[in-house]
Amino acid sequence: MTRDGAHLDVVDEAIHVLSKGDPDRQSRELLSLLYGISGLTFHDQTDKDWLDRRFAMLEDLLEDSWTFRRLRERAEEKGIAIGKQIGEQKGIAIGEQKGIAIGEQKGIAIGEQKGEQIGEQRGMLKPLRYFVKRRFPMLLPLVEEFSQKTFTEDVLNTALFQIAQAQTEAEARHHLLAALHSNS
């Protein structure tokens, strides 16, 4: 096959000689090697197709060859490794998408919760504004600072109660400043 023997009829003759009668172990190994060498020798698709068909008829014999089994095992190992790699990549992509979806859901939940807190706080600031506007209008700018921060319901209720109880503007200013600095 190496010296002007790269012809399919040479391969056919070699197959015929090696598979004659009941091929022994050495003949099976040589058939396996012939298949491999033929694969390296012939590059035309028509020749490759002929080789595939011709050696397919000998597959039972080739299965008994340790070299053929070894090649098959290596191919299977390589296929498994490639499959794992592809599977891992797909798994990462799927996991990433699920992670994004979960993160998005958590972000929405946090956003909704913060939105509710802001809404509640704005609602609670209305009575505070009302009392300050009615009793101590000069302190309204301090009340507006409350909308720039987040406060607990308890802090706002206490400030409202203290403003309602305050006797002087100075006392009301003191309570508003104390409430503003309670979250710092």
- Asked if residue 77 belongs to a domain, the reply is no
Question: Is 2 part of a structural domain of the chain?
Answer: no
Task: Tell whether 43 and 120 lie within a shared domain.
Answer: no
Q: What is the 3-state secondary structure (H, E, C) of 81-96?
A: HHHHHHHHHHHHHHHH
pLDDT of residue 137: 95
pLDDT at position 170 is: 96
Contact 149, 183 (CB under 8 A): yes
pTM, 2 dp: 0.42
Query: Backbone dihedral region of 26: left (phi > 0), alpha (psi from -120 to 50 degrees) or beta?
Result: alpha
Domain that holds residue 91: 83-182
Please tell me the total count of domains within the chain. Answer: 2
Does 69 fall in a domain?
Answer: no
Contact 58, 38 (CB under 8 A): no
On the question of pLDDT at 184 being above 60, the answer is no
Backbone angles phi, psi at 113, to 5 degrees: -65, -45
Residue 137 lies in a domain: yes
47 plus 89 within the same structural domain: no
176-181-122 Cα angle (round to 5):
60
**DSSP symbol at 23:** -
